[in-house]
Amino acid sequence: MLIVMKPQATEGDVRAVCAKIESMGFRAHPMPGAQRTAIGITGNPGPLEPAEFETMAGVAEAIPVSKPYKLVSREVKSEDSIIALKTGPGKADVSIGGRELAIIAGPCAIESREQAFAAAARVRQAGARLFRCGAFKPRTSPYSFQGLGEEGLKILAEVRREFGLAIVTETVDPENCDLVAEYADVLQIGARNMQNFSLLKHAGRLKKPVLLKRGMSATLEEFLMAAEYILSEGNYDVILCERGVRTFADHTRNTLDLSVIPAVKRLSHLPIIVDPSHGTGKRDKVTPLARAAVAVGADGLIVEVHPNPERALSDGYQSLYPEQFEELMEQVTAIAGVIGRTTARSALATAGSQLQESGPHCKDRRFSS
């Protein structure tokens, strides 16, 4: 059930509806929009009677939600969600889901202060505003490098201070979720944990945005339901991420399913980005697929970049060299320009070119996808 408030409804009206919902033993999720506030109801075992709410002050209508997912649905919130990160006083704000593409880059795992700083300097310069780097690594083998742990998180905090990059790093279980949240700007939940419901619920109770990767064989509905777990606990700042699915095809490590981007855009208000590094597993495929991801309408990219890929402790074969990442940024900035979007690099480019205003193609933020 979704309660849609009138545009002129007061804050008190909204509070009264929420109080009524809670008094019935359910959970109220007020979602302010540009025009009006909507209030999602979860926790109800069956359909509710619309009349119970439609007679209250400020209520426009009470409508049943037809999809199994509720809070992630465009039925509940028709405008795109834009997730703003506050990376610190005096630091440039970063947002995900807006006109500017969110570019997240960095090494698979933090190996040392030197490695992290070297990577951060290069990706910052190339136009990334967010830094990805794992301190806790879920590895297929118990005998593989499992990450530097909290020591790594501390270095990431330094990276933020030094380079003004927002930090995206992985959490692997409910226990370590709180620790990671102390240091990170965005909590990453990996593909293998997409249906680790305890972790999803725990992340839903924190106040940090969550980057949720699609599971290797997750259907679109399962993907959205996993996000719903987080929202249902009160955390509405979820960024979805397509990172390839598992198929019979053997020329890439996974098969990047770019059709999921317009499919998500149709059903959900949440932003969705693409990981062409895991999505292909091969360095020479990353940039072409990054171009395609931007062209299809993704809200950003997450890319593995390592100052020295041959010596990487994990995923070296799919990590870009810093100069390759610069090329990637140049190319995706060009594509962004013609579909009415920008990157942090666009501003630099503007001085010397008219690229991002290239004519009739950027009437609005993007082509209808």
CB closer to a second copy, 16 vs 267? 267
User: Minimum distance from CB of 165 to a second copy (Å)?
Assistant: 26
What are the respective helix, strand and coil percentages of the chain, to the nearest 5? Answer: 40, 20, 40
Nearby residues of 172 by Cβ (< 8 Å), 6 or more positions away: 136, 138, 190, 193, 199
Compute the least distance from the CB of residue 298 to a second copy, in Å. 9
Instruction: For a second copy, give the closer residue by CB, 165 or 305.
Output: 305
Compute the least distance from the CB of residue 236 to a second copy, in Å: 14
Kindly tell me which of 169 and 176 has the beta carbon lying closer to a second copy.
176
- If the CB atoms of residues 118 and 338 are measured against a second copy, the closer one turns out to be 338
Shortest reach from residue 160's CB to a second copy, in Å = 26
Of 153 and 166, which CB lies nearer to a second copy in the complex structure?
Answer: 153
Q: 35 exposed, middle or buried (CB, 10 Å; 0-12, 13-18, 19+)?
A: exposed
Residues 288, 276: Cα–Cα separation, whole Å: 9
Q: Take residue 107 and report the two structure tokens written for it.
A: 């090494």
Query: Among the residues of 85-212, which ranges form H helices?
Result: 113-126, 150-163, 174-183, 197-204
Query: Both tokens of residue 329?
Result: 């940024």
H or E stretch covering 262: helix 260-267
User: Closest Cα partner for 25 from 5, 46, 1, 44?
Assistant: 44
User: How near is the Cβ of 362 to a second copy at its closest, in Å?
Assistant: 9
Of 87 and 314, nearer to a second copy (C-beta) is: 314
Query: Which residue reads 């020591």 in tokens?
Result: 151
Spatial separation of the C-alpha atoms in residues 156 and 117, rounded to whole Å: 9
Which C-beta is closer to a second copy: that of 95 or that of 331?
331
Q: What is the DSSP letter of 237?
A: -
- Token readout for 310 is 């041959």
Compute the least distance from the CB of residue 303 to a second copy, in Å. Answer: 15
Return the beta strands (E) in 97-182 as ranges.
Answer: 102-106, 130-132, 166-170
Which is nearer to a second copy, 37 or 268 (by Cβ)? 268
Give the position of tokens 């439609």: 54
Which amino acid, one-letter code, is at 94? V
- We find the least distance from the C-beta atom of residue 229 to a second copy, in angstroms, to be 5
Which CB sits closer to a second copy, 90 or 142?
Answer: 142
Q: How far is the CB of 122 from a second copy (least distance, A)?
A: 20
Q: What is the Cα–Cα distance from 256 to 279, expressed in whole angstroms?
A: 5
CB burial of residue 200 (10 Å; 0-12, 13-18, 19+)? buried
Least Cβ distance, residue 105 to a second copy (angstroms)? 18
